[in-house]
Amino acid sequence: MDLFRSFMVIMVLCVSLIVKGAGAAGGHGLSYGFYKSTCPQAEKIVKDQVTKIYYIHGNSAISFHRNVFHDCAVTGCDASLLLESTPQNRGEKESERNFGMRNFKYLNVIKAAVDRECPGVVSCADIVVLSGRDGVTMLGGPHFEVKTGRRDTTLHTTDKDADRYLLDADAGVDAFLDNMAKLNINTPQAVALIGSHTVGRVHCVHLVSRLYPTVDITLNATYAEYLKMRCPSPHPDPKAVKYARNDPITPMRFDNNYYKNVMQMKGLLRLDNALYLDPRTKPYVQRMAKDNSYFFQQFVEGMSILTEHNVLTGNKGEIRKHCEWVN
């Protein structure tokens, strides 16, 4: 699963966010426990479904988490990512920047479960955020409260919108930090958000440029040989199941092992190792490698900003009956 996109997204994404709850673009109209009177069991139902699905398909938790970044990054946290293509528009899912996104079917399962309890009350946008939060928890990451009350967009965004807002695989530290600065995301929060690379996988399509025809000099030589075994061809088939885990030690555990790997030059993407080599980000990589609680703290702060980005509330948007289609 190409987590890097999710975390590049993150960075671009968090571009217009302000701290939790502040300002119109930063979650105005959201609240904790938004559904306490209209659907009091909503969050519990989502959590129960995420847990049930996780034990059927463990990678679903990573998909749920990744959805948050890829949805919120383009037009805001409005479930635009979930819309299917139409004869007039290629949806966001069709973007090459969303390569490897999957398991959308499970969001439909969660939506159906919630609607059995409270028909037409809980938005797909909130289900994306809640399932993403609970997916992190299932993987051993921090549990944190999120505001709810988002509504679903009625506008069809396209693959071109996703291309515009999601960063490319080869983005470097300069582009990364520039985007963060524009979004009022500080450096430690940004470094923590990309720490989500601690779970998931990267398809060989996005690895081979570091391996062929010559190995990237910032890549650990021994690790490069391992990656060549995972990706033996410089021209991998995009449809083939050829990938490397972001963290070969604890691939399904949301922990600070990502930073330990990066300090050994074992990051899969160019940006990963570059974060340790750049003096602006290196101190935070080092601190998060030593202190998992600090990583979690900064991650939660970043996620609080991310999940409140450019939301639709009140009478804006709608509550979709089916997450893939506008009503």
The CATH number covering residue 232 comes to 1.10.420.10
Task: Say if residue 91 is in the same domain as residue 203.
Answer: no
- The reply to whether 43 sits in an annotated binding site is no
The string of pLDDT tens digits covering residues 141-162 is 999 999 999 999 999 999 999 9
The string of pLDDT tens digits covering residues 46-82 is 999 999 999 999 999 999 999 998 999 888 999 999 9
Global confidence as pTM:
0.90
Mark the ranges of the chain whose per-residue pLDDT is less than 50.
4-5, 7-25
> Which CA distances in Å does 65 have to 230, 284, 314?
25, 23, 25
Q: Does residue 70 carry a catalytic annotation? A: yes
Is 226 part of a structural domain of the chain?
yes
Task: Say if residue 24 is in the same domain as residue 131.
Answer: yes
Contact status, residue 266 vs residue 223, Cβ threshold 8 Å: yes
pLDDT at 21: 37
pLDDT at 10: 45
- The reply to whether 161 sits in an annotated binding site is no
Query: What is the three-class DSSP state of 182?
Result: helix
Task: Say if residue 179 is in the same domain as residue 158.
Answer: no
Task: Say if residue 162 is in the same domain as residue 35.
Answer: yes
Query: What is the three-class DSSP state of 205?
Result: helix
Domain boundary among 151, 168, 185: 168
Task: Say if residue 187 is in the same domain as residue 87.
Answer: no
Catalytic residue among 28, 57, 65, 70: 70
pLDDT at 131: 98
Is 316 part of a structural domain of the chain?
no
pLDDT at 168: 84
Is 317 part of a structural domain of the chain?
no
Is 159 part of a structural domain of the chain?
yes
Euclidean distance between CA atoms 251 and 229, whole angstroms: 18
Is 43 part of a structural domain of the chain?
yes
Contact status, residue 308 vs residue 150, Cβ threshold 8 Å: no
Torsion, Cα 64 66 68 69, to 10 degrees, reads: 180
- The reply to whether 216 sits in an annotated binding site is no
Task: Say if residue 62 is in the same domain as residue 177.
Answer: no
Tokens of 302: 């970043």
Task: Say if residue 10 is in the same domain as residue 129.
Answer: yes
The domain tally of the chain equals 2
- The reply to whether 163 sits in an annotated binding site is no
Euclidean distance between CA atoms 259 and 206, whole angstroms: 20
Task: Look up the domain containing 253 and give its range.
Answer: 173-301
Which residue pairs from 104-109 have beta carbons closer than 8 angstroms and sit at least 24 positions apart in sequence? 104/63, 104/67, 104/323, 104/324, 106/53, 106/57, 106/60, 106/63, 106/64, 106/131, 107/64, 107/67, 107/82, 107/131, 107/323, 108/322, 108/323, 108/324, 109/49, 109/53
pLDDT at 74: 87
Task: Say if residue 161 is in the same domain as residue 179.
Answer: no
Q: How many residues does the chain have?
A: 327
CATH of residue 113's domain is 1.10.520.10
- The reply to whether 170 sits in an annotated binding site is no
Task: Say if residue 151 is in the same domain as residue 293.
Answer: no
Task: Say if residue 26 is in the same domain as residue 147.
Answer: yes
Task: Say if residue 164 is in the same domain as residue 179.
Answer: no
pLDDT at 13: 43
